[in-house]
Amino acid sequence: MTTDETGPTVRALRVLDVLQRRPGVRACELAERLGVSERAVRRSVAALRAADVAVESTSGPYGGYRLGRGLRLPPLRFTSTEALALVMAVLDGQHAAAAVGDPVADAVGTIIRALPVDVGRQAALMREHARAAPGRRPRPDPVTTAALVDAVAARAVVRLAYTPRSGTPRTRTVEPWAVVVRGGLWYLLARAVDLDAPRTYRVDRVGAVETLPSSAGTVVPPPDLDAVAWLEEHLGSGRALATRVRFHAPYDEVAPWIRPVMGRLAPTPDGECVLEGTTDNPAMVANEWLAAVPRPMTVEGGPELRLAVDDLARRLAASVAASSA
């Protein structure tokens, strides 16, 4: 821990800044971030409360400090570069941000109106005249996403209307652990109650979300859950059809071509490697994923995947035969 050379007023303002950006932060985390003792953190919190800043605290392993409801935050202060970078990032990630009535567009408009005139004018011009082509990534409904995040925070069991890639709607009762964004897609990590197993759900495929009463139980995520690492490990599991592909090449040569969503790749004693996973769409696995791996392979498991690979091979062979005729 570094030595803190700031005065108590500056330190209290730094604590306030962290609380605005990270509600629920613990005293030990504040101390580490600011380079002070936990006792100094508590003194800063007491100083904020004495200045009529509502700082709430909760005890227990998931407790921490957060600002009370209704606190008026200071005005937005962006430089011109920061404001333009914000609008560029939003347009790049959400092409509908220039559309009237889109919630992201409304939020950007609110921010622009709160900016100083000279800065806001540049941001407004960029938003008006710059256009982003629609992306391929589907966007989850903000109301649905907020409901899932609220459930995670409240440790509440929920009932989901879910439509997987196969297109057959399902109803699932789950214990939500975390909401994670990866590669432009939003995922819910949860335990499926009826399956008694961990599952990953695409948030854009979630329909209605019903928060169940407390009598349904309190969610307890796995201890020390690293949500991002867990997602990477489990993206290729939990789907309807099992797959197994043997690559006739060393693990190090194949691994760069394998993404977590494809399954788990493991070396074998004979110097080759095996990819085991699950899928709802064997045609996509064959046509988009396996076809891109430039190493010889054999489909050892999954009759649906074997048929999809066979269909791809026949179509490619037919195209070569047609061009040489």
What's residue 8's pLDDT? Answer: 67
Give alpha helix (H) positions in the chain: 8-21, 27-34, 38-50, 80-93, 103-114, 117-129, 142-154, 227-234, 251-254, 282-284, 303-324
Alpha-carbon gap, residue 300 to 276, rounded angstroms = 10
Q: CA angle, corner 165, sides to 163 and 169, nearest 5? A: 25
Q: Give the chain's end-to-end CA distance (angstroms, integer).
A: 75
The average confidence (pLDDT) of the chain is 81
Name the more confident of 256 and 140: 256
Would you state the structure tokens that stand for residue 173, as one six-digit string? 């009762």
Handedness of CA 60, 173, 305, 165 (dihedral sign): negative
Rounded CA gap, 290 and 137, in Å?
A: 21
Give the start-end residues of each E strand in 212-249.
Answer: 241-247
Backbone angles phi, psi at 40, to 5 degrees: -65, -35
Question: Would the pLDDT of 305 be above 90?
Answer: yes
CB burial class (10 A; 0-12, 13-18, 19+) of residue 182? middle
Region 279-297: what's the mean pLDDT? 93
pLDDT at residue 2 in the model: 43
pLDDT number for residue 60: 65
Model confidence at 98, pLDDT cuts 50, 70, 90, reads low
Q: Which fold has domain 142-232?
A: SH3 type barrels. (2.30.30)
Report the CATH architecture of 8-67.
Orthogonal Bundle (1.10)
Long-range CB contacts (within 8 A, 24+) of 16-20: 16/48, 16/53, 16/67, 19/55, 19/65, 19/66, 19/67, 20/67, 20/73
CB 23 within 8 A of CB 62: no
Closest by Cα among 320, 299, 296, 321 to 310? 299
Per residue in 253-267, pLDDT (tens digit) is 999 999 888 888 999
Long-range (24+ apart) CB contacts under 8 A made by 43-48 are 43/8, 44/8, 44/11, 44/12, 44/14, 44/15, 45/15, 47/8, 47/9, 47/12, 48/12, 48/15, 48/16
**Span 25-45, pLDDT tens digits:** 888 888 888 888 888 888 888
pLDDT band at residue 193 under the 50/70/90 scheme: very high
Q: What is the pLDDT of residues 42-75, one digit of tens each?
A: 888 888 888 778 888 877 666 688 887 655 556 6
pLDDT score of 97 more than 60? no
On the question of pLDDT at 149 being above 60, the answer is yes
**Mean pLDDT, to the nearest integer, of 86-106?**
63
DSSP letters for 62-111: T-EEEEPTTPPPPPP---HHHHHHHHHHHHHH-GGGGSTT-HHHHHHHHH
